[in-house]
Structure 1
Amino acid sequence: MTASNPDHLDPYPGAAPVAPPSVTTRPLARSSTMHRASRPRKAGRPLGLATALAAASLAAAGCGHKEESRYTSVSRPQAVQVVQPTRRTIVRVVGQPSFIESYERTSIYPKLTGYIDNWKVDIGDKVKKGELLAKLFVPELEEDLETKKATVGLDKRRVELAEKLVKVAEADVKSAEATLSEAQAIYGKYEAEVERWDTEIKRLKREVDRGVVDPQILLESTNQWKSSVASRQAAKATIEKAQADLLSQQATLAKAQVDVSVAQADLSVAESEAKRIEAWVGYITLSAPFDGIIVTRNANTGDFVQPSTGDPTANMRSPNLAPGGMAAPIYTVDRTDIVRIFVDVPEQDANYVQVGTKATVLVKAYRDEPIPGTVTRTSWALNIKSRTLRAEIDLPNKGSQLLPGMYAYAKVIIERPGALALPASAFVQSGEKTFCWTYKDGKARRAEVRTGVSDGDWYEVTNLMYEGSGSKTEDPWKPVTGSERVILGDLSILADGAEVQIASPEGENVAGPARTKGDGPAATSVAEKDPEGSTPVR
């Protein structure tokens, strides 16, 4: 009499009545009548009509008709929907509040300590590269420059004098060489006379011994020989003197040549000093480093100025002050033909942001429509404190309407084409790990999954690992191929290894081999029905 028990709850509303667990029932011919008899009679229904219906039912059961037997198991598998990873373009937008900066901002400080003689431009003035902004008054430096220039002129005259002395020394050397040549010729003459008179004396001695020549003639010839020997000795001394003079003149020439080199070196030093002072004098004039606009002026006639260190542009809210507040620049010049916007990209997206990545910049003070652009450059390395990647977007600024300091909201559009992706509802987070449930051989299998880029609704999946899979030599992580069937829905009621069956789009529970219906990323898989539309039992 189970069917008449009002406390019995049907676990599957709309299905055929079933018996308690481990009990199967065969529908009886009188079951409907008994079931109806146990119900309270509704008010207002004629009793005769109920009696007629009951009689008709008994008559139908007793006419020899045999009802088909049906069996249903109460332990029915959980119905689930499945989806397969599909390739799609995942677009992720990284947005950060930012502000506009000029492409270049230069703070102009004086290199020298002095006074402002006069200034030429004021804030808002457009300047060209090299245009005079202001001039300082440093009289002692200008006088030092004149002194250095005079020293250069003096050293040039010294070089000219040294070069002339070289020419004189060269002439003296030539004269000494000529004197030496003359002395050598005279020596040769007397050498020949000595040899002549030596031969003559020997001949006269033989003639005197024979008594042919008078001895007086021999004596006179001997005196001539002695005179020639003396003259030869004198000529030899003259040669030695001429050689010494030549060496002296050659040394004088060498000294004159060295003097020229020394004078030229002194000239080079003087010219270098003059250039150094001239460079310092160049710092008296302050000029524009590039085409831009004057955004700060702290120049007033007669102001005493001095050098300062540090980059004042570090404090963007007060670009006219140095970080330490010790001094202000004379001028600040902004280059505004191009402006820059910074975006700090989180670490998880850093690898997907490259030069050329699409971006947009919204400057509401300029207009309500985002300005399209691209990432111009990245820092490549992450900030060690914030773990973010600095990306810069350059925008042309024709007409200089994008003003430095304006609030902006920049977005970097990360596109990941052809990524195997699953919807966010397919994942379960447990601690720092991400899991999904797959349908495999009629059972639910829990797998840890590695994800990539995400747009919030879809997540790229790259690898998955089943518990207990793999070995010491085999990597347990398997790449996602797109053939996996991933379960969607309420994943909290699933258990690893539990039997499940795929639900049709109409909500019917269907068992058996599954086939995919639909082409979309969230298409479900449905099973074949039996010819009469009944639900198979396990």
Structure 2
Amino acid sequence: MSQPDPVSRKRGSYRGLRLAGVVAVVIAVVVVAHGLIVRAAESSRLRDWTDAQALPTVAVNPPANSANASGLELPGRLEAFKRAPIYARVPGYVKDWKYDIGAKVKAGDLLAEVETPDLDQQLAQARADLATAQANANLSRITAQRWQALGKTSLVAKQDVDEKTGDLAAKQAAANSAQANVARLVAMKGFARITAPFDGIVTARNTDIGALVNAGSSAGSELFVVSDTQRLRVNLAVPQNYAPSVPPGTKATLSVPEYPNKTYTAEVEASSQAISAASGTTQMQLLVDNPDGELLPGGYASVRLDLKAHAKVLSVPASALIVNANGLTVATVGADDKIVVKPVTLARDLGKTVEISSGLAADDRVVENPPDGVVSGTQVRIAGAQPKGQVAAAEKGKNSKG
């Protein structure tokens, strides 16, 4: 068996090395090309993502039909249906008190008694003066009767008879005056018993045994306050533009902070029929039943008035309104995801929402919080929607895998 020629072996070795080099070069080219392609694709996706993130993101919602849900929420203040601050009518010292705060009382119940030493002496003096005046009147009556009898016999002058008759009238008038003074002081003595003017609850007691009290409201604070809380008044300041929509009889619901999960039914009783120049509001009064005493006079209440709904109006969040030199406008998003600014007409401002009477369609996509400086034609991205570039990339990746 013959051995291969050394030269032939050398040539075969060169060919093998050349082939290996070619394969290595091809592999390197393939790796580099793949890397460039992947890098270009990543760069394209990054560019699309960056472009998408650069667009303003907005939340949109169609306007709501407010025909069945129209109301006005306002703060109110609760007051007792009847409230009587009770002052001392006569000066003296508190002898005793019978009811403390929170006690239920009936009309005529004795709340406190006042010792009146000065008034007692004045009453004793007035009664003595009355006795003197009555005695003088009786003597004058007897004297006048005697002179009148003598006057019929012509033994005395008619002038003397008239003087005695006039003296009787003066003495009788003095007796009547003394009687009236006694009656006045007796009535004043009756005010030493301080009583409840109506059925209610003692909501304040500002005195104690032995305390010096003066007569009248200008001399100090009230001794007691009695309030009727079976029904409460709710004072409400209604803005001028809503006043015609809140006639007497309008129903309302109210809630208080101490019972957050409970509501109460109230009704508009009266309106002041005047606008306050300071606040631009009309004072209105509502009545609410309070049989269990849960609502406390003087407290705060949130009141929702059930207003008559306006027909053919749409409601949007108050944050959607744009107020600038162009007037009142609302930003909407068109089918091409571009902003369309529309001028609108405001029907009513309900606080968190506003009613639009014209300028919007029911299928408009209204921007809830438009960014500053938004104008028609601005490209935006809808919150929660996937950017178109990412959607295309996802579809491309899906197709390449399929």
Q: TM-score, normalised to structure 1's length?
A: 0.46
For 1:432 and 1:125, how far apart are their aligned partners in 2?
63
Deviation, 1:460, is 5.4
Matching residue of 1:306: 214
Instruction: Answer yes or no: is 1:93 the counterpart of 2:71.
Output: yes
The answer to whether the Cα contact below 8 Å between 1:105 and 1:333 also exists between their aligned partners in 2 is yes
Residue 267 of structure 1 is aligned with which of 175, 197, 207? 175
Matching residue of 2:142: 164
Instruction: Answer yes or no: is 1:127 the counterpart of 2:105.
Output: yes
Amino acid at match of 1:123: I
Matching residue of 1:103: 81
Deviation, 1:141, is 1.2
Matching residue of 1:362: 255
For 1:89 and 1:268, how far apart are their aligned partners in 2?
75
The answer to whether the Cα contact below 8 Å between 2:140 and 2:167 also exists between their aligned partners in 1 is yes
**1:173-226 C-alpha deviation (Å, 9 max, x unpaired):** 2222xxxxxxxxxxxxxxxxxxxxxxxxxxxxxxxxxxxxxxxxxxxxxxxxxx
1:369 partner SS:
strand
1:98 partner SS:
strand
Matching residue of 2:6: none
Matching residue of 1:337: 230
For 2:166 and 2:307, how far apart are their aligned partners in 1?
73
1:94 partner SS:
strand
Deviation, 1:168, is 1.9
Instruction: Answer yes or no: is 1:256 the counterpart of 2:164.
Output: yes
The answer to whether the Cα contact below 8 Å between 2:322 and 2:328 also exists between their aligned partners in 1 is yes
The answer to whether the Cα contact below 8 Å between 1:92 and 1:454 also exists between their aligned partners in 2 is no
Matching residue of 1:136: 114
The answer to whether the Cα contact below 8 Å between 1:90 and 1:454 also exists between their aligned partners in 2 is no
The alpha-carbon distance between structure 1 residues 90 and 382, as it changes in their structure 2 partners (threshold 3 A), is: farther
Instruction: Answer yes or no: is 1:297 the counterpart of 2:275.
Output: no
Matching residue of 1:196: none
Amino acid at match of 1:354: P
Residue 155 of structure 1 is aligned with which of 99, 112, 133? 133
Residue 348 of structure 1 is aligned with which of 233, 241, 263? 241
The answer to whether the Cα contact below 8 Å between 1:118 and 1:136 also exists between their aligned partners in 2 is yes
The alpha-carbon distance between structure 1 residues 157 and 452, as it changes in their structure 2 partners (threshold 3 A), is: farther
Deviation, 1:405, is 4.3
Deviation, 1:299, is 3.0
Residue 392 of structure 1 is aligned with which of 269, 285, 294? 285
Structure 2 unaligned residues grouped into runs of 5+? 1-64, 331-342, 367-374, 378-402
Q: TM-score, normalised to structure 2's length?
A: 0.60
Mean CA deviation greater in 151-160 or 137-146 = 151-160
2:283 partner SS:
strand
1:381 partner SS:
coil
Q: What does 1:394-473 align with in structure 2 at a 5 Å threshold? A: 394-415=287-308, 421-423=312-314, 452-453=347-348, 456=353, 458-459=355-356
1:117 partner SS:
strand
For 1:95 and 1:334, how far apart are their aligned partners in 2?
28
Deviation, 1:262, is 0.8
The answer to whether the Cα contact below 8 Å between 2:348 and 2:354 also exists between their aligned partners in 1 is no
Amino acid at match of 1:127: V
The alpha-carbon distance between structure 1 residues 460 and 171, as it changes in their structure 2 partners (threshold 3 A), is: farther
Deviation, 1:273, is 2.3
For 2:97 and 2:262, how far apart are their aligned partners in 1?
41
Deviation, 1:276, is 3.2
Larger radius of gyration: 1
1:122 partner SS:
coil
The alpha-carbon distance between structure 1 residues 396 and 260, as it changes in their structure 2 partners (threshold 3 A), is: farther
The answer to whether the Cα contact below 8 Å between 1:100 and 1:341 also exists between their aligned partners in 2 is yes
Deviation, 1:145, is 0.6
Instruction: Answer yes or no: is 1:382 the counterpart of 2:382.
Output: no
Deviation, 1:128, is 1.5
**1:271-305 C-alpha deviation (Å, 9 max, x unpaired):** 23223333432332222122111122233222223
The alpha-carbon distance between structure 1 residues 424 and 92, as it changes in their structure 2 partners (threshold 3 A), is: closer
Structure 1 unaligned residues grouped into runs of 5+? 1-85, 177-244, 311-325, 437-447, 462-485, 495-538
The share of aligned pairs that are identical, in percent, is 25
The answer to whether the Cα contact below 8 Å between 1:90 and 1:458 also exists between their aligned partners in 2 is no
Aligned length: 287
The alpha-carbon distance between structure 1 residues 304 and 343, as it changes in their structure 2 partners (threshold 3 A), is: same
The alpha-carbon distance between structure 1 residues 265 and 395, as it changes in their structure 2 partners (threshold 3 A), is: same
Matching residue of 1:483: none
The answer to whether the Cα contact below 8 Å between 1:421 and 1:459 also exists between their aligned partners in 2 is no
Amino acid at match of 2:112: A
Amino acid at match of 1:116: V
Amino acid at match of 1:306: N
**1:102-130 C-alpha deviation (Å, 9 max, x unpaired):** 22333323244422111222222211122
Amino acid at match of 2:208: N
The alpha-carbon distance between structure 1 residues 431 and 158, as it changes in their structure 2 partners (threshold 3 A), is: farther
For 2:304 and 2:265, how far apart are their aligned partners in 1?
10
For 2:245 and 2:325, how far apart are their aligned partners in 1?
25
Deviation, 1:364, is 5.3
Q: CA RMSD in A?
A: 3.7
The answer to whether the Cα contact below 8 Å between 1:91 and 1:415 also exists between their aligned partners in 2 is no
For 2:126 and 2:164, how far apart are their aligned partners in 1?
26
The answer to whether the Cα contact below 8 Å between 1:454 and 1:460 also exists between their aligned partners in 2 is no
**1:453-503 C-alpha deviation (Å, 9 max, x unpaired):** 466464458xxxxxxxxxxxxxxxxxxxxxxxx774699879xxxxxxxxx
Deviation, 1:346, is 1.6
